[in-house]
Structure 1
């Protein structure tokens, strides 16, 4: 009888202890970085960027950092996993790349912003809002980069990452405005757009990037040949002072390529020179 009477008291003590433990738990938001919203006078739109700051940024007020600009950079797109890759690659135990700021450019209409005008009937049909890349490039150079340089401690050593239509835009910037970035990572560029007429533009003779990395997965003849066209043009026309690399990921499809390609680009830019 004594044993049976003791059981409720034991259960009551356990419940009290459990509740006390639960009351000690605190919950705070996990903050990866900053989100900046601002009005673009060039685009006539409110735009948003996501910003990852490297470890130690807030404690070392004198140090400046390279900036990696990421197209398709919203939280629902590629920002989180590319920021994580940059963090991993800059661990002191690895030192695959220098500690860097990551700026993810969130989209409103990527089919408009990432494409030049086209006369191809399929482009006109399938991408009816296309043709806004000139203004978007102006926005990057005249509004976005000055804003980032003013707000964060940038050393103005800039890298651009773009995939698919983002790769098309990165190629256009490299050919027409190469001074905007020191390094370019161009993944699976959509050179099918307007029958790759973008490649008729010559490489600038006055501004050459430090390095360019082009990659594509097993994505079909059109995508694979388009990426190789970009690489062959740049390898032929850029000066030997520019590091130009190409990787074909035959084991990966389009959806798998970006993450491993960016990792490989960092290795080739910084560890295999």
Structure 2
């Protein structure tokens, strides 16, 4: 015991000194925006390219993640972007990544409906949707507050991508169909298009007939069809209507991933989406 205690103390203090000299690994920063549109503060997590310099003239595309919280998809998607923009890979354009922290996901990602009777058909209880129908305000937050904030405070290009999966995929689809001018690329993964008795799918043909449309890329990803037949069929229906009605201004990529399930699909889908949208060495900033 007389020998053990000094050795234990030596180990403790050595590790204490080591811990004090250790430096954190920083991959991003968090900004806080007071939103008038949402009447609340919203946190956004931001990854900057490793050679980002506020003093030079280089500008960067921006990738927005709806489910972009620290405990959601910010870290792993920022990791995909960072790795694939390394000089020895050079697959994607160097980009800024913006992850939006959720406060009330169901409210923000869903449009208003007259009633919730359709929930029974897709296996949800009405009691689980205590708030909904706020997508209009959320889109206004994006258009009037977050996008201008990023353009004012960071070195951005007009090239914007938005990523949404599941309920966030519903919102991303709504933006694509009703506010397509906000983004150049839409990554839509297993979207919850069953919301409102598939109203967005029903309205899609007429919404896609709008004139003076900006040119966009749209990726639609679907996971194993046996896990959720409704969401698989809706993803296929979205792909079909985008191809049929989207015209030459809408470049559509469809990706069925039978080896992925709903909870695992987003990482593979985002990687696949950027590979399809940015063929190696052919991307543009």
* Shared fold (TM-score, shorter chain, > 0.5): yes
1:5 corresponds to: none
The runs of 4+ residues in structure 1 deviating greater than 3 Å are 15-25
Asked which structure has the greater RCO (Cα within 8 Å, sep 6+), the reply is 2
The offset of 1:38, in angstroms, is 1.8
Alignment of 1:161-200 (within 5 A): 161-199=163-201, 200=203
Gaps of 5+ in 1: 1-7
User: SS of 2:160's equivalent?
Assistant: strand
Cα 1:171/1:209, change in 2 over 3 Å: farther
Q: Indicate whether 1:228 and 2:236 are aligned.
A: yes
After alignment, is 67-76 or 125-134 more displaced?
125-134
Distance 1:22 1:142, change over 3 A: closer
Residue of structure 1 in register with 2:253 after alignment: 245
Cα distance in 2 for partners of 1:194, 1:233 equals 18
Query: 2:222 pairs with 198, 216, 219, which one?
Result: 216
Q: Tell me, yes or no, if the aligned pair for 1:208 and 1:239 is still in contact at 8 Å.
A: no
User: What is the distance in 2 between the residues matched to 1:21 and 1:29?
Assistant: 16
Alignment deviations for residues 126-154 of structure 1 (CA, whole Å, 9 cap, x no partner): 42311000110011011000001111100
Contact 2:242-2:250 at 8 Å conserved across structures: no
Structure 1 residue 105 and structure 2 residue 105: aligned?
no
Please give the TM-score of this superposition, normalised by the length of structure 1.
Answer: 0.89
State how many pairs are aligned.
262
**2:118 and 2:197 in contact (8 A); partners too:** no
TM-score w.r.t. the length of structure 2 is 0.85
3-state SS of the aligned residue for 1:57?
coil
Structure 2 Cα separation of the partners of residues 160 and 101 of structure 1: 12
Q: Distance in 1 between matches of 2:253 and 2:166?
A: 18
SS in 1 for 2:186: strand
Contact 1:208 1:238 in 2 (8 A): no
Call closer, same or farther: CA 1:76–1:236 in 2, change over 3 Å.
same
Shift of the 18–193 alpha-carbon distance from structure 1 to 2, 3 Å rule, reads closer
Aligned-pair RMSD on alpha carbons?
2.3
The 5-angstrom pairing of residues 1-273 of structure 1 reads 23=17, 26-58=21-53, 61-118=56-113, 119-123=115-119, 125=126, 126-199=128-201, 200-201=203-204, 202-203=207-208, 204-218=210-224, 219-271=227-279
Q: 1:237 to 1:29 in 2, by over 3 A?
A: same
Structure 2: distance between partners of 1:27 and 1:194:
52
Other structure's SS at 1:147 match: helix
Residue 23 of structure 1: CA displacement? Answer: 4.2
SS of 1:99 mapped into structure 2? coil
Per-residue CA deviations over 1:219-263 (Å, capped at 9, x if unaligned) read: 321010011111111111112243201011111111111000000
Larger Rg over CA atoms: 1
